[in-house]
């Protein structure tokens, strides 16, 4: 457990009620900053997530000469430098805790004329980057990682990139996006074939900035290279990954009824809703609409008795970030829940399979850790102390677990919650969670 990191102390029981708006989508916020920075003109962003991860991305572009006003109250105005207008940074670019930022930036920087280096915090420095280094090298990029292909990443500029037809061995929106960004600087077309659908925010946003991407039979293709991006307004919806904690919390806590407003419901991100509904959750999609090219809706969730399920393999990549919350739901469900084919969770901000298993066991839940997943038998949830291992999603998931716990729950090492959900304790408290922050 990390010294000097705040912890959460959460009282047992309670209900979640009312209307809440969770912060802006982190994935879309990253991409809006990146594309705005290399577009021609001024990109005006509303609803931006002002978390540490996104601020690290913005700071990197400021270090490369991009001017931006804000962020303030979710608003940011970026004066783009154009595809070839970035300047060499004077120091390594610090991506903080964000694997998304590091992998996407590797693709974008591979096409620049200057050398660069990407670094991160202790957690990010343990995360594997070979999955993006290898295909970028196949495009002609010069990218070197540290021991075991981990950060820091050193990128030699001035390389002539060429488009490739890459078949991903493991579904990854981050790798796909990195290659599409590198493809902006490559000769010829860049195509990526996915073994399973992943979030398509990059494709949608490239189209909005004037660079259409096609999809056919699982292959995403950037047809042209060399053309400029044109600035456009971006309205970032509320993050469904952040909404997931409240969807689970209201589902497991008797007497709950909660409305989550303006949530992004991109079909490549709604696996959390599909999984919870299969478990018996009462979730309604209300007032569907479109905002900035992304589908958006209000989500209304009421308490309902949950049952254990075997999670379908097709839903695993569509809910990969939400499994800490989903496994808390499994702990409160009747019967067994089985998750398989989720080995990707081993290389997130923590080893999430181990972190989830350890947290559930600490709260008295019967759990079996497997190489690529978990088996959870629902039932009694006791109080206890959970180590989040510095993982923001683990920390928030186990705070929500207290709604069904028999005693208080303490979650250690919660500083990194600010990377994706600044203000989580205050918003959760307003909805009805008895949460306090201890230094």
For CATH 3.65.10.10, the residue range(s) in the chain are 7-24+237-438, 26-235
How much is the average pLDDT of 218-241? 90
pLDDT at 195: 93
Residue 291: is its pLDDT beyond 90? no
Residue 364: is its pLDDT beyond 80? yes
Token pair for 124:
């990010």
Q: What phi and psi, each to the nearest 5 degrees, are found at residue 168?
A: -70, 130
User: What percent of the chain has pLDDT above 90?
Assistant: 93
Q: Which fold has domain 7-24+237-438?
A: UDP-n-acetylglucosamine1-carboxyvinyl-transferase; Chain (3.65.10)
CA angle 222, 234, 397 (to 5 degrees): 95
Q: Distance between CA atoms of 240 and 260, rounded to whole angstroms?
A: 9
Per-residue pLDDT reduced to its tens digit, 333-349: 999 999 999 999 998 99
How much is the average pLDDT of 409-433? 97
Reported confidence tier of residue 1, pLDDT bands at 50, 70, 90: very low
User: What percent of the chain has pLDDT above 70?
Assistant: 99
Per-residue pLDDT reduced to its tens digit, 369-408: 999 999 999 999 999 999 999 999 999 999 999 999 999 9
Nearest CA-CA partner of 94 in 61, 126, 67, 45: 61
Active site residues: 321
How much is the average pLDDT of 25-35? 97
Reported confidence tier of residue 4, pLDDT bands at 50, 70, 90: confident
As a whole number of Å, the end-to-end CA separation of the chain is 13
Reported confidence tier of residue 3, pLDDT bands at 50, 70, 90: low
Per-residue pLDDT reduced to its tens digit, 233-288: 999 999 999 999 999 999 999 999 999 999 999 999 999 999 999 999 999 999 99
Cβ partners under 8 Å of residue 306, min gap 6: 251, 252, 276, 279, 280, 281, 329, 330, 332, 333, 334, 378
Task: Convert 329-343 to b/e letters by CB count within 10 Å (16 or more is b).
Answer: bbbbbeebbebbebe
How much is the average pLDDT of 99-119? 97
Residue 47: is its pLDDT beyond 80? yes
* DSSP state string for 118-167: EE--TTGGGS--HHHHHHHHHTT-EEE-SGGGPSPEEEE-S--EE--EEE
**pTM score:** 0.92
Please report which residue ranges of 195-339 form alpha helices under DSSP H: 201-208, 240-252, 271-278, 323-331
pLDDT at 230: 97
pLDDT at 225: 66
Per-residue pLDDT reduced to its tens digit, 160-178: 999 999 999 998 999 999 9
Cβ partners under 8 Å of residue 178, min gap 6: 103, 104, 106, 107, 108, 132, 135, 136
Q: Which CATH architecture has domain 26-235?
A: Alpha-beta prism (3.65)
Cβ atoms of 29 and 236 closer than 8 Å: yes
Nearest CA-CA partner of 403 in 8, 18, 13, 10: 13
How much is the average pLDDT of 320-339? 98
């Amino acid at each position: 457990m990390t010294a000097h990191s705040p912890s959460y102390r959460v009282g047992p029981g309670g209900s979640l009620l009312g209307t809440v708006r969770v912060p802006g989508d982190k994935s879309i916020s990253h991409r809006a900053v990146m594309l705005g920075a290399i577009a021609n003109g001024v990109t005006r962003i509303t609803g931006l997530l002002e978390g540490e991860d996104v601020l690290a991305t913005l700071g990197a572009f400021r270090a490369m000469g991009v001017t931006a006003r804000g962020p303030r109250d979710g608003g940011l105005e970026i004066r783009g430098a154009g595809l070839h207008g970035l300047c060499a940074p004077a120091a390594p670019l610090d991506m903080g805790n964000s694997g998304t930022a590091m992998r996407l930036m590797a693709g974008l920087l591979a096409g620049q004329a200057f050398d660069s280096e990407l670094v991160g915090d202790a957690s990010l420095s343990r995360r594997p980057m070979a999955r993006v280094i290898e295909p970028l090298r196949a495009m002609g990029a010069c990218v070197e990682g540290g021991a075991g292909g981990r950060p820091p990443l050193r990128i030699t500029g001035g390389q002539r990139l060429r488009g490739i037809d890459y078949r991903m061995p493991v579904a990854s929106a981050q790798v796909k996006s990195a290659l599409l960004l590198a493809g902006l600087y490559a000769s010829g077309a860049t195509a990526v074939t996915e073994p399973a659908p992943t979030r398509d925010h990059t494709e949608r946003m490239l189209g909005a900035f004037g660079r259409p991407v096609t999809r056919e039979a699982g292959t995403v293709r950037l047809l042209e290279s060399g053309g400029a991006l044109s600035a456009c307004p971006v309205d970032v919806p509320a993050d469904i990954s952040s909404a997931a904690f409240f969807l689970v919390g209201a589902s497991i806590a008797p007497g709950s009824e909660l409305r989550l407003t303006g949530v992004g419901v991109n079909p490549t991100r709604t696996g959390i809703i599909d999984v919870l509904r299969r478990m018996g959750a009462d979730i309604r999609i209300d007032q569907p609409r479109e905002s900035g090219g992304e589908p958006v809706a209000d989500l209304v969730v009421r308490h309902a008795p949950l049952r254990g399920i075997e999670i379908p393999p097709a839903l695993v990549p569509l809910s990969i970030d939400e499994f800490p919350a989903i496994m808390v739901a499994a702990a409160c469900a009747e019967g067994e829940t089985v998750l398989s084919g989720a080995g990707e969770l081993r290389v997130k901000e923590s080893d999430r399979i181990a972190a989830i298993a350890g947290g559930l066991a600490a709260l008295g839940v019967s759990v079996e850790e497997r190489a690529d997943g978990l088996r959870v038998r629902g039932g009694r949830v006791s109080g206890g102390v959970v180590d989040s291992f510095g993982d923001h999603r683990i920390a928030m998931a186990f705070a929500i677990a207290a709604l069904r716990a028999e005693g208080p729950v303490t979650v250690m090492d919660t500083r990194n919650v600010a990377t994706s959900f600044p203000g989580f304790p205050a918003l959760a408290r307003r909805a009805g969670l008895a949460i306090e922050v201890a230094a």
